[in-house]
Structure 1
Amino acid sequence: MAEITITTTDSLEDREVTEYLGVVSGEAVIGANVVSDIAAGIRDVVGGRSGSYEKKIESGRTEAIDDIRAAAEELGADAVIGAGFDYEELAEGMLWVNVSGTAVRTRGQ
């Protein structure tokens, strides 16, 4: 099967939605080792941004996208439309990343 397209839009250019298969979601929980991460954060904060935390968030987002792609594939979808991301702090040092959208089958390019 071809790579499943994931988009935040409600449609895909040059493709027609032929079947709505249902809501799919993926999630990841990112944990932070507070002591080592504070030390790393002090070293890599540039312009108010922490590269190490940004990498952890990116990693969590990638895991959540992999999960939603697998869930869509199980339904026989070739795309997920209307994908949205949610980030929530579960506890100090723990971040929950969720992505959800609608799995669909399409026709077109």
Structure 2
Amino acid sequence: MALCKSCGKSLTLLNKATQDLCNTCVSSGHTKANSAAPRKAEVDAIMLTTETQLDGIRVTRRIEIVTAECAFGMNIFKDLFAGVRDIVGGRSEAVQQTLRDARRTALYELKKEAHAVGANAVIGVDLDYVELSAAGSMVLLVASGTAVIVEEKL
């Protein structure tokens, strides 16, 4: 299956025949020339917020909903010690660190998704954690929000 030269999404036959870019990238002004992998600094510059109304900042364009999904597994030793903590009480530093790592990864992936569609911010960010007990001890974290273009109010 053909992929967009800018963001990597699947292309329809019409897109493949005409431009090698998906409709989202075409409407965002992406070209094959600027389709290289984003630089870390560009991705880091994207603003994330749980708010939908921002003081001093105006949303000039709403682009689309973006999501990032991360599934993190707990190894057997973390599971063992977490089980002991369940019995005797206390905090599990190993589990807490895994959740922190999942959050950081999901938010960075969310920024990359926003960058791919030409946004400079993601508003209304929501984090949803799900335990996947059928797959062993795994945690699925889904980050979602609305990719937008913002500018400071004058």
Same fold (TM over 0.5): yes
Query: Whose relative contact order is higher, 1 or 2, with alpha carbons under 8 Å and at least 6 apart?
Result: 1
Cα-to-partner distance string for 1:71-106 (whole Å, 9 max, x where unaligned): 001111111000001011122311100100000001
- For residue 108 of structure 2, what is the aligned residue in structure 1? 66
Corresponding position of 1:96: 140
What is the aligned length? 106
Map Cα deviations across residues 20-55 of structure 1 (whole Å, 9 max, x no partner): 000001111010112x11444458xx9621111000
- Percent sequence identity is 33
Backbone CA RMSD of aligned residues: 2.0
| TM-score (ref. length: structure 2) | 0.63
For structure 1, the residue ranges without an aligned partner over 5 or more in a row are none
- 1:50 maps to what in 2? 92
Does structure 2 retain, via aligned residues, the 8 Å contact 1:30–1:95? Answer: yes
- C-alpha contact (below 8 Å) 1:8/1:82 kept by paired residues: yes
Q: Greater strand share, 1 or 2?
A: 1
State the TM-score, normalizing by the size of structure 1.
Answer: 0.86
Aligned to 1:80: 122
- SS of alignment partner, residue 49 of structure 1: coil
Indicate the structure (1 or 2) with the bigger Cα radius of gyration. Answer: 2
Q: Distance in 2 between matches of 1:96 and 1:65?
A: 13
Distance 1:33 1:74 in 2: 33
Q: Which runs of 4+ in 1 moved over 6 A?
A: none
The structure whose residues are more often helix, as a share, is 2
Residue 96 of structure 2 aligns to a residue whose secondary structure is helix
